[in-house]
Amino acid sequence: MQHIITELSEANVGKVAANERLSGHTTWKIGGPADIFVIPGSKEGLQTTIRLLHKHQLPWKVIGRGSNMLVSDKGFRGAIIKLGGGMEGLRFEGTDVIAGGSYSFIKLSVMAGKEGLTGLEWAGGIPGTVGGAVYMNAGALGSDVSRILKSAEVLLETGELVRYEAQDFEFAYRHSVLHGKKGIVTEATFGLAYGDRREIAAAMAAYKDRRLRTQPLQLPSAGSVFRNPEGNYAAKLIEEAGLKGTSIGGAEISTQHANFIVNHGHATAEDVLSLIRLIQRTVYEKFGVQLHPEVLEVGER
């Protein structure tokens, strides 16, 4: 492993570290060490990183801002890549907005609103990156990425940069083609529309107020843990199953929003997984509904 770290460092790809604890890089504040941790300083640095990892056949995973994922207590055997400032560009071309893969999705919605562009108001509460939002087809309040994405630049695991049109992503609920075909979104183009700045600001303020009232934003979490089953809501089923407030170790099913599992400061990945399994088992026994997590499990089990 050290020889790969040496190669990455000598190639000046960006920050390279060994045995970096991932709890410092996830919104859940959970996760053991990664063998190799890289923050590329540029798109070129990212390409070089991917090519070197591909040459050595070393497993890798991109974590962006570390939201919507649960990293194992044992960590990750391979390389974790965190997209850095080299891919945080933003520009507007008429009603199109082009954002780098590591640009904050929340900030993107705010900046679009300031430009008088409507179509991203719903994204003000999604804490990940643009790349992660495209990967997961992130959504809220009845909308999602598939409705506004025009195209994206994707770095394949061979180090080749390609352009995907929206239809190439094969979007479904919280799913894209990148779940099965490994790649990193380095830039995305969204098609918005002109709107009234005051109306956009009012809508975003209302959405923010709703989040503050209904979500446990004061504690570390990964957002919604389960996908909503067709015709129902995961939070409603979990609450009706009587599980709200249930704790295992340092993890708790939020008393404010039942589809959030929060970390009270010392939760482990195993604590969270135990609660996930308890929720799935109880909801299925009571209602015959199988809940499927939308958070990604990362690392060694």
Chain centroid offset of residue 136 CA: 7
Radius of gyration over alpha carbons of the chain, in Å? 19
**Residue 123 to residue 259: CA distance in whole angstroms:** 18
Specify the residue for token string 């939760």: 267
Tokens for 42, please give them: 């540029």
pTM of the model: 0.92
Q: Strand order of the sheet with strand 261-263?
A: 247-248, 251-253, 261-263
**DSSP letters along 46-96, please?**
HHHHHHHHHHTT--EEE-TT--SEEE-TT-EEEEEE---GGG--EEEETTE
| Third-level CATH fold of 88-199 | 3.30.465
pLDDT along the chain (301 residues), means of 10: 93 96 97 97 95 96 91 97 89 98 95 96 90 93 94 96 97 93 96 96 92 92 94 97 98 97 97 98 98 94 78
d(CA 48, CA 39): 12
Fold of 2-85: 3.30.43
Domains 2-85 and 88-199 share a fold: no
Q: For residues 63 and 137, what is the distance between their CA atoms, to the nearest angstrom?
A: 16
- Strands 14-21, 33-40: pairing is antiparallel
Residue boundaries of the structural domains of the chain: 2-85, 88-199, 217-298
Give me the pLDDT at residue 64, please.
86
At residue 84, the pLDDT reads 80
Count of Cβ atoms closer than 10 Å to residue 257 Cβ: 22
Catalytic residue numbers?
A: 174, 224, 294
CATH fold of the domain at 217-298: 3.90.78
pLDDT of residue 94: 97
Looking at residue 170, its pLDDT comes to 96
